[in-house]
Structure 1
Amino acid sequence: MENIGASKTADDIYFAPLLPWQQALWSQLTDRVTRQQTLPHALLAAGMQGMGKRAFVWRLVAWLLCRERATHPQGACATCESCQWLRSGTHPSLQTLPLISMPVSIDNIETKEKAGKKNTKTTSNSALKIKVDDIRALQPFIYQGGQGLRICVLDHAEQMTVAAANALLKTLEEPQAQVHLFLISDSPAQLLPTIKSRVQQLALQMIEPAVAMDYVTQALGATVNREAVSPAALRQLIQLANGAPLAAIALANAPWYSKRALWLTTWLALRSGKRSSVAASDYWQSQLSIIEFIQLSELMLLDIRRVCLGLAVLQQDINWTALTSDQADGSTPDDSAIEAFFHRLQQSKVALQQNVQEKFAYDKLMQELARL
């Protein structure tokens, strides 16, 4: 049975206001149910992080289970017995995989890895794995019959093992009355084709730029981290987030976002030998966690690669003059070197999950950065 923790968290995600770009899809699905037309047996919410797909799924789950939904077309009532079960994390008609999955606040859903956290521990892929025994454990719940509406949510569906996916196929091929399966995936390309062919994808990917801009502007207001935000800065945030509003907001509030120019200065000083990797490591350890520094580095590498390819940078608020001067001298890194350093960043993430000391990881990354 799913476990959501504090009721405040349940309120944030089950009963939060509908995201504005999801209104049309919400009306389409809820109207269908209201007219007593059944929803597809299995639905897939897929796409990039930060567009609110999990927020939509958990909100729809709450509404489908709500006993007063007929008089609350815009969302679950939040007061009936079913909604109270959701608040307490004890709903008998809801099962969630993987076992660690739970609805979280709409402010950080889908965006925690983009924004970064002070805690360097991240959820490992092994913890997110959905194994064949997990799917088999759902079978009694799915096939019990005569128990009313039942819902299964499989988050991080791309993390199913091949055996788990094959076990799920049986359920997808033999739909049970009043059983709904919701699959959520940040990387739908990793799903087996046989799975994707048996689910209907929710149209959640298209977000109008004007709608995204309005939402981000309203959410961030006039300042971010006590600094004024211009319309150009907001547009840049949305562009860096690939048009995903929630990711743009998380990016703006990330503790490392304001340190991008400083990262560039540090890198150029390391390359020129004006600063040692040890001194740089000691300084940055006092500023950001290693995970935050890695996320900052990943973003900066995008524009470094663009400069080296002669393309316009995405981060127009940073002075790239020194790097473009290096480019004229032919001393900028080639694409293979940039790719190698990006690979090193990914290796560092894995090492941190294996309890490698943060200082050691920082020192190693600074040595690699100096050679980039």
Structure 2
Amino acid sequence: MNDMTANVGAQERSDSIYFAPLLPWQQMLWSQLTQRVLTQQSLPHALLAAGMQGMGKRAFVWRLVAWLLCREHDTNPLGACGACESCQWLKSGTHPSLQVLPIVSMPINADSDTLQEKPSSAKDKKSAKTTSNSALKIKVDDIRALQPFIYQGGQGMRICVLDHAEQMTVAAANALLKTLEEPQAQVHLFLISDTPAQLLPTIKSRVQQLALQTIEPAVAIDYVTHALGHTINREAVGKMAIEQLIQLANGAPLAAIALAQAPWYGKRSLWLTTWQALRSGKRSSVAASDYWQKQLSIKEFIQLSERMLLDIKRICLGLSELQTDINLSEALASYQPTDSGLETFATSLQQTKVALQQNVQEKFAYDKLMQELACL
């Protein structure tokens, strides 16, 4: 068994991803797919779970993988049993019939579409970091290493999951085409992508996309409301807050929940107050920097600033703001930054991200951004 085998379960990964409750908007698709299997109809050889982060596509794929491999799925149509030998293999991260690329690709939990690198040894634990796009690259040698697993005969069902499939190099994608064009019995490939437009057309033409992107607004509102601890009989203002979160998250419920829980989300009005104070000269950039360093990490402040810039740009273009709870349009009624000023600050935010990867001190980065925010 090589290093790719079942890495989705090993290396400190929680097994809850395989056995988590089905997300409400995925029930119909789940029923359709499981019924095909239970009525002896074969699933498509290759399936693509695509769409923006926060829709639960990874949660669906890992749950389906567990169910397909489960020895008792005939009597458990709602999900893997969690007790059979196959489920135990998944829990321990040693399933011989599951391979995953890229090797570092590890979902954090069932409610997340984000990934984090998981250490594979005690030594690696000391240097584990959030996975970068470069770390997620799927290379041609990775695809070639799958071939013995895919083409071994008489081994029962075998599943390959290619997460962040858009990160395949051209050579890797071309190597995968052979597998897609020559489907093997009982071998299933799952491709997962946040940006399917980056997939080669030849790949997309040979996979069947899972219908995971349609989420009814009422279903999204109800799910987000319950997840955030509100009651069914919530006040109108509470409902408006939930609807705003979902709108800001482009309709993705899991992203809306993550947004509400982000440290910076509750500091949007404070950002606006700081900007106005800096612009009017009522506060120095040094004082503002010192204050914000105690409020948010520089990365969180950048996320906050990017969110605020989006709405400022909308208002400057004559569109309505998406954040209706912080009176942004009122603040911009007497003054609006220029297009060049907005672009300059947006560029500074991007440059700061790059600088942080090169170990620039947060204080220096904060000081510089506050100086530029004062000029916006």
Shift of 1:110: 3.2
Number of the residue aligned with 1:51? 55
Give, as a single letter, the amino acid of the residue that structure 1 aligns with 2:208: Q
Offset, 1:365 = 2.2
Equivalent-residue separation in structure 2 for 1:221 and 1:302 (angstroms):
28
RMSD of aligned residue pairs (Cα, Å): 2.1
> Aligned partners of 2:202 and 2:13: how far apart in 1?
38
Of residues 166, 171, 175, the one that matches 1:167 is 175
TM-aligned CA deviation for residue 250 of structure 1: 0.8
**2:23 maps to 1:19:** yes
What CA deviation, in whole Å up to 9, does each residue of 1:17-67 have, x standing for no partner?
A: 100000000011110111111111111100011110000000000000000
Q: Partners of 1:190 and 1:321 in 2: how far apart?
A: 36
Q: Deviations over 1:287-346 (max 9, x none)?
A: 11111111111111111111111211111110225532334xxxx223343234333323
Residues 303 and 315 of structure 1 are in contact (CA less than 8 Å); yes or no, is this contact kept in structure 2? yes
Equivalence for 1:10: 15
1:222 corresponding residue in structure 2: 230
Instruction: Choose which of 350, 355, 360 in structure 2 pairs with 1:356.
Output: 360
Q: 1:111 to 1:317 in 2, by over 3 A?
A: farther
Task: Determine if contact 1:46/1:188 at 8 Å carries over to the other structure.
Answer: yes
Which residue does 1:188 correspond to in 2? 196
- Structure 1 counterpart of 2:281, from 273, 276, 279: 273
The equivalences for 1:1-372 within 5 A come to 1-3=5-7, 4-5=9-10, 9-11=14-16, 13-110=17-114, 122-222=130-230, 230-320=238-328, 323-327=331-335, 332-372=336-376
* Residues 238-281 of structure 1: per-residue CA shift (max 9 Å, x gap): 11111111111111111111100001111222222322222222
For the residues of structure 2 that align with 1:139 and 1:300, how far apart are their CA atoms? 48
Amino acid at match of 1:27: S
* C-alpha spacing 1:229/1:156, structure 2 compared with 1 (3 Å): farther
For the Cα contact (< 8 Å) 2:107–2:115, is it kept in 1? no
Q: Is the 8 A contact 1:256 1:293 kept in 2?
A: yes
What amino acid does structure 1 have at the position aligned with 2:14?
Answer: T
Question: 1:344 is aligned with what amino acid?
Answer: S
Give secondary structure in 1 for the equivalent of 2:161: strand
In structure 2, give the amino acid aligned to 1:348.
Answer: T
| Aligned residue pairs, count | 356
Change (3 A) 1:21 1:254: same
Contact conserved, 1:133 with 1:164, CA < 8 A, in 2? yes
> Matches of 1:158 and 1:371 in 2, distance apart?
39
CA 351–166 in structure 1, closer or farther in 2 if over 3 Å, else same: farther
AA partner of residue 259 (structure 1): K
Long gaps (5+) in structure 2: 117-128
Distance (Å, rounded) in 2 between the aligned partners of 1:354 and 1:5: 31
Please give the alpha-carbon distance, in whole angstroms, between the structure 2 residues aligned to 1:5 and 1:371: 50
Instruction: Encode CA deviations 1:87-110: one digit per residue, 9 max, x unaligned.
Output: 111111111111111232124443
What TM-score, normalized to structure 2? 0.89
In the TM superposition, residue 7 of structure 1 has moved relative to its aligned partner by 7.5
* Maintained 8 Å contact 2:46/2:189: yes
Q: Is the CA contact 1:7–1:88 (under 8 Å) kept in the aligned structure 2? A: no
Q: Does structure 1 retain, via aligned residues, the 8 Å contact 2:56–2:111?
A: no
Using CA pairs below 8 Å that are at least 6 residues apart, which structure has the higher relative contact order?
A: 1
Q: Quote the Cα distance in structure 2 between the aligned partners of 1:353 and 1:369.
A: 22
Change in Cα spacing, 1:73 to 1:336, as seen in structure 2 (3 Å) is farther
Structure 1 residues 360-369 or 180-189, which shifts more?
360-369
The separation in 1 between residues aligned to 2:282 and 2:115, in whole angstroms, is: 36
What is the SS of the residue equivalent to 1:14? helix
2:41 alignment partner AA: Q
Instruction: Tell me the secondary structure at the aligned position of residue 21 of structure 2.
Output: coil
Shift of 1:6: 7.0
Question: Which runs of 4 or more aligned residues in structure 1 lie more than 6 Å from their structure 2 counterparts after TM superposition?
Answer: none
Partners of 2:248 and 2:259 lie apart in 1 by 9
